[in-house]
Amino acid sequence: MARSDAVAHLRLTLVTFAVSVLGIRIYLAATGYPQIGGQTLHIAHALWGGLLLFVASLLPLLIADRRVLTTVALLSGVGAGLFVDEVGKFITADNDYFFPAAAPIAYAVFLLTVLVGLRFVGRSRECSPRADLRAALDLIAAALDSDLTPVQRAELDRRLRAAATPGADPSDAPSEEELRHLAAGLLEVVPSSGLQLAPVRPGRLRRLVSRLDRWVDRRLTERLLRTGLLVGLTVLGLVAVSDLAVITAIAVDLSDGSTSELTDVANGFARIEIEDARGVGFLFARAVLDVLAGSMLVVAAVLLVRGRRRSAMELARHGLLLFLTVVNLLLFYLEQFAAAAAALVQLALLYGVRRYQDHFVERS
């Protein structure tokens, strides 16, 4: 079962991972790829990443304080980013830092972390006395390190009540019944146990985020968000559909029975140097998937104009997920880390689609 604060720690790990990978690439490009260690030694930043990962693994083993988990999430994200950034050196015979597959591998690690995290967080929705009691004990452990927030205190009470409620199935195992008695006992003790509520004193960053949320809620009306989604989905969709030019160029070159200039044609549409049929195949596959996902976004925009909001948002969500999970793997191979800009735009649109669904479609 996932921890009660798993989502926050996972988010911090992912953000620091992405920032460290992109940050180190930008820094090295801006400074001419300097080397630490002189002419004899080369201290790669993967070593610093490994050191941070080692420290992150030691902290929860040595320190019995849940607050250290924030530091662990931060060090894990940065350490993994520094380590994975040099994956090209580890998988090539000539230690090629610029190996084209390095960028999609780093992106794949990011995606896998998201999927694994969602898998474990999803387990926290398990409904059983054992799961509810675990969640309650996790919150009680948190109260030993710091005062509970009002939200955490309410969640603790809800979990204990759920764990103490008798099940409808008379065939419940004896162990389940014992857990219900334990939860009932804790439910009687906790309200008078002196667990304190943390004073609500948000820091500057939290206050800034709260003000930003309130500003967005006031200004981001249904009409404004719908207009933004229409523009974003249409532009991104048409840009993706324009990859028909790639398909056409390759098809025309193949139609005369000669492939001698095929790689020259393909290199006009990629940032890396395409030298063989495999690279051309990757480019062609990316173009086909680009057209498919882009068409989904364009159709979603048309549906939104016609007032079919639910269908439009579902189609847009699937199209954006196709971009983020499949198309971008090929895009990172062909365009390298410049593809991160496209991924950020897609994530922003996906956030807009989700917000529109939650605030204006599901509530209508």
Task: Report if residue 292 sits inside a domain.
Answer: yes
| Number of domains making up the chain | 3
More confidently predicted of 95 and 275: 95
Same domain as 337, residue 232: yes
Within this chain, do residues 68 and 143 fall inside the same structural domain, yes or no?
Answer: no
Which of 169, 192, 215 finishes a domain? 192
State the residue range of the domain holding 74: 6-123
Tens-place pLDDT, residues 294-334: 999 999 999 999 989 999 999 999 999 999 999 999 889 88
Contact yes or no for 118/7 (Cβ under 8 A): no
Residues 21, 87: Cα–Cα separation, whole Å: 11
pTM of the full structure:
0.77
Note the pLDDT tens digit of each residue in 147-196: 677 777 788 888 888 888 876 554 555 577 788 888 888 877 776 555 65
3-class DSSP assignment, residue 67: coil
Residues 244 and 134 in one domain: no
Residue 196's contacts (CB-CB under 8 Å, 6 or more residues apart) are 143, 147, 148
pLDDT class of 138 with cuts at 50, 70, 90: confident
Nearest to 195 by CA among 166, 153, 255: 153
Name the H helices within the chain.
Answer: 6-31, 45-62, 68-84, 87-90, 102-123, 129-145, 150-164, 174-189, 204-219, 222-241, 244-255, 262-267, 277-305, 309-322, 328-335, 339-356
**Domain end position, chosen among 140, 158, 192:** 192
Please check whether residue 271 lies inside any domain of the structure. Answer: yes
